[in-house]
Amino acid sequence: MSVLDGKVAIVTGSGRGIGRAIALKLAGAGAAVVVNDLDDEPAAETVALIGQQGGRAIACNGDVAATDFGDRIVDGALDGLGGLDIIVNNAGYIWNTTIQRNTDEQWQAMLDVHATAPFRILRAASEHFRSSAKREAAEGKVVQRKVVNISSVSGMYGSATQVAYSAGKMAVVGMTHTLAKEWGRYGVNVNAVAFGFIETRLTQEFEGQPAEIDVHGRQFKVGFPADLAKQKYQQISLGRPGQAEEAAGAVYLLCLPEADYITGQVLICDGGRL
């Protein structure tokens, strides 16, 4: 029997990178997973990979910042997989610039994806968590559920050109502390993981022109010049960036039964950079 057998997890932004690694890690431990991505193809790939390792997964795709998305993905878990025990709010992207060039649209986009989207998902899940806890208590059962919100060291300590991103990532830390207090009575552990320099398409090295990603038809430059990336590596105690699988491991730790008495905490996963 695997440690997460019978659990159902939502992992947003799990079509690629860290999110995919988290989904595969949880599925490998026995959880059924609701996969999400803005685009259908990468989400389908993650669902297929989970199926290949003997797991169960469905996709609920679309923009996590859409006003109806929280209700839609929670209903997807309950109706499609029969429950909801773990929520990992991972979806996000970067839109960086100095504050004097930061537009209202840019500011709001970062808050929407990094703070408002997790808020709506957790609000949508609240009735299920409450009613399930009351029913289980009446039956003499103790069931712990898990929320892991993904933050960043940029949110914890700031980062030049990331005023909007940093604000969104710190907002989710406040949400984590608050819901840990509200939901303890329902047996829900609410924690966050703040990532440092993890190798993904958002942090890829480049020579010359940066790579771009498409979000709603808008092109965003991503990555770091190779010389700047190497400077960043020198600031990390372990001397290298983290891998997506290592980032997933930090989230996985907080989803285990061994973490049932850990709540309201922020685990920094940055290779010792700070």
DSSP state of 122: H
Check residue 207 and give left, alpha or beta (phi > 0: left; psi -120 to 50: alpha). beta
> What is the per-residue pLDDT across 107-154, written as a single tens digit (0 to 9) for each?
999 999 999 999 999 999 999 999 999 999 999 999 999 999 999 999
Architecture per CATH, domain 8-269, reads as 3-Layer(aba) Sandwich (3.40)
Q: Which of 194, 116, 181, 185 is nearest to 148 (CA)?
A: 194
Counting every residue, how long is the chain? 274
> What is the per-residue pLDDT across 221-271, written as a single tens digit (0 to 9) for each?
665 666 666 777 888 999 999 999 999 999 999 999 999 999 999 999 999
Residue with the two structure tokens 């208590």? 137
Boundaries of every domain in the chain: 8-269
> Residue range 207-225: average pLDDT?
65
Q: Catalytic amino acids?
A: 165
Q: What is the mean pLDDT of the chain?
A: 93
218 close to 251: Cβ distance less than 8 angstroms: no
Rounded Cα gap, residues 104 and 142, in angstroms: 46
In this prediction, what percent of the chain has a pLDDT beyond 70?
A: 90
Regarding predicted confidence, which is higher, 214 or 124? 124
